[in-house]
Structure 1
């Protein structure tokens, strides 16, 4: 694992406030070393050096992560969330080698005023509080443009892009997209598993596709410069969004249903439609998603099976990584919020063996060290690695963002 970035000064979330007075204290999960280090890569000294060079020198972008730190005791999770002050994992990020991260927050479980999540006022509170914290340090910077990502790369910082997994909170108010853009949101999903006013989520029994209001929202996102994500949308809705958007779109975090037959994975038709639009699929690694027949216990190897499948399907220029990790017990989060996250409906009736964590891709601090190490071990060229760890995403952002 990398040493902390030189620019990182040791800041921890909400250092400018007094714990126990201004906010409730919790004991948080370790950002480094919570689980044993991955031992599945047997790299030579030369391969290790090449991995570190690429991680250090190239633009590395996580297309989808959750960089908050969760309580060590997940039984305290709802109390922690209700105070609306989730901490960014600065220490872990300082060891990640990431240049830019699309942080999708936890607004499906943002239960400040309602256990159902996705309430507009709660989302704005969550965004505003976390932006206030970012503003009190100078290592992780709020990023809204391609120039911000380039600046982070040049100066040894991390560009933090605010993103949302669904547009559910806009209800039937398209102007709320303008407000969220003004807050700094630069990437947004259409639906999070459940249907909303824009279209269908992937868990629903039927998929009526993108609604007329959804078409208006897609048009406004294109006009504003909000990158569109269809990771949790239903199959027909995905295809409709790809057709309606005038700009490339993302599948920020998913895998291939042709390899693992659950609704959480994307069909070949959807992956192809996104690629034909010029977009990118980010291969994900949230627990028990990107499994494969060859690697049914979720690990780096099963995730990379999906990477290879998608590269073979649409070409390496349309594939990247959205690992979808966090700092803490991700499986415990799924158990605590199974109904909010639609875990059961998303997986359908496919059986799998539960693992306590995804070996090799457990958190944002380690993910790209192991991804790049795997790519090096499997003889991908430097140019190919540059494309999939950041270059493909940058190409799309240069077209989508204004």
Structure 2
């Protein structure tokens, strides 16, 4: 891969993007027509949707899953629930959006393996073990101490393997994430993160971690939140998609081209007043879990230049081509790598 800026022929990016199966590896979607319009304009086929909020109790989580399923049912001409890779392929063929259910926490389940099976039956196909803090399975990255995956956590991971749920360790502490890779017989993923060597952060992943992820067959999705792609030498400078490509290139250098993808980590339900309140809370917090999570970027600068919302997804293709990636490698990054790891984990139709 050539890191120099490359001139690309007219229409190459447009044609490549249209042909690819494009996947957003982690996002929170707004259940609205506006969301569907953004997805359509962005040429996105599938999204991993955080269908339940972190730290939700069981009843709340079930209600959130039910609400999303009813919305999908009501928009079946435009959306489908992705339970298999074949569903995503069908969505691409029919011009629909495939929604993957991927909660970012297990606290609504605890260690109840029967309840884990219930959430599988309801459509969950990706599940993050912890969200920032310690739970019954392991430690989140916001904890001062990470003692790794618990005994129950190991059994939980094995049960996920048996059911066909992809193990996500994005917000896990490093030791917990590495333990999950060891416990799982199938690839483990970091659905949304970035490189600690470039943008140090409690949510970022080290080079050693990325090597282990690649050796285990996993994939990491690179986010485009400004506070995560920040420049250490100029932390208030808003990053752009060239910075995103730099993080992608780092993963490729360390782990290989088959182990990197896209995950915007955008929350379409977030509002400006909510962001203002969050910044105040972070400024007042003494907790490692809450400090420096998303930087201090304001509402209009919270996302990387060139990727304001899902409608801008074609800009990823152009930026990757300009960054020197071949069309075949761009296709992998846009969604091919996600499809591979889904296929290795999920049960076929």
Give 2:308's aligned residue.
362
- The Cα shift of 1:333 comes to 3.9
Q: Deviations over 1:332-379 (max 9, x none)?
A: 545445779x9962575799552432222222221x211111012223
Give 1:170's aligned residue.
109
Equivalent residue for 1:104, pick from 50, 60, 76: 50
TM-score by length of 1: 0.77
Q: 1:393 to 1:305 in 2, by over 3 A?
A: same
Q: 1:166 to 1:352 in 2, by over 3 A?
A: closer
Mapping for residues 243-262 of structure 1, pairs under 5 Å? 243-262=182-201
- The Cα shift of 1:314 comes to 0.9
- The Cα shift of 1:136 comes to 1.2
Q: Deviations over 1:149-181 (max 9, x none)?
A: 111111111111111011121123122110110
What secondary structure is seen at the aligned counterpart in 1 of 2:125? strand
Q: 1:260 to 1:330 in 2, by over 3 A?
A: farther
What secondary structure is seen at the aligned counterpart in 1 of 2:334? helix
Give 2:40's aligned residue.
94
Equivalent residue for 2:17, pick from 49, 55, 79: 55
Structure 2 contact 126–167 (Cα < 8 Å) conserved? yes
Q: State the distance in 2 between where 1:332 and 1:271 align.
A: 36
Q: Deviations over 1:129-160 (max 9, x none)?
A: 11101101211111100110111111111111
Q: 1:267 to 1:99 in 2, by over 3 A?
A: same
Give 1:122's aligned residue.
60
Give 1:75's aligned residue.
none
Q: State the distance in 1 between where 2:293 and 2:88 align.
A: 39
Matched, 1:131 2:69: yes
Q: State the distance in 1 between where 2:267 and 2:292 align.
A: 26
Q: State the distance in 2 between where 1:392 and 1:146 align.
A: 12
Q: 1:231 to 1:87 in 2, by over 3 A?
A: farther
Equivalent residue for 1:298, pick from 238, 243, 250: 238
What secondary structure is seen at the aligned counterpart in 1 of 2:288? helix
What secondary structure is seen at the aligned counterpart in 1 of 2:108? helix
Structure 2 contact 144–288 (Cα < 8 Å) conserved? no
Q: State the distance in 2 between where 1:289 and 1:378 align.
A: 20
TM-score by length of 2: 0.88
Give 2:9's aligned residue.
46
Structure 1 contact 65–364 (Cα < 8 Å) conserved? no
Q: How big is the alpha-carbon RMSD for the aligned residues of Structure 1 and Structure 2?
A: 2.6
Structure 1 contact 68–105 (Cα < 8 Å) conserved? no
Structure 2's unaligned 5+ residue stretches are none
Equivalent residue for 1:200, pick from 139, 148, 154: 139
Give 1:78's aligned residue.
none
- The Cα shift of 1:46 comes to 3.3
Give 1:216's aligned residue.
155
**Structure with greater contact order relative to length (CA < 8 Å, sep ≥ 6):** 2
Structure 1 stretch displaced more, 323-332 or 155-164:
323-332
Q: Deviations over 1:281-327 (max 9, x none)?
A: 10012341122347742332332221111111111111111111133
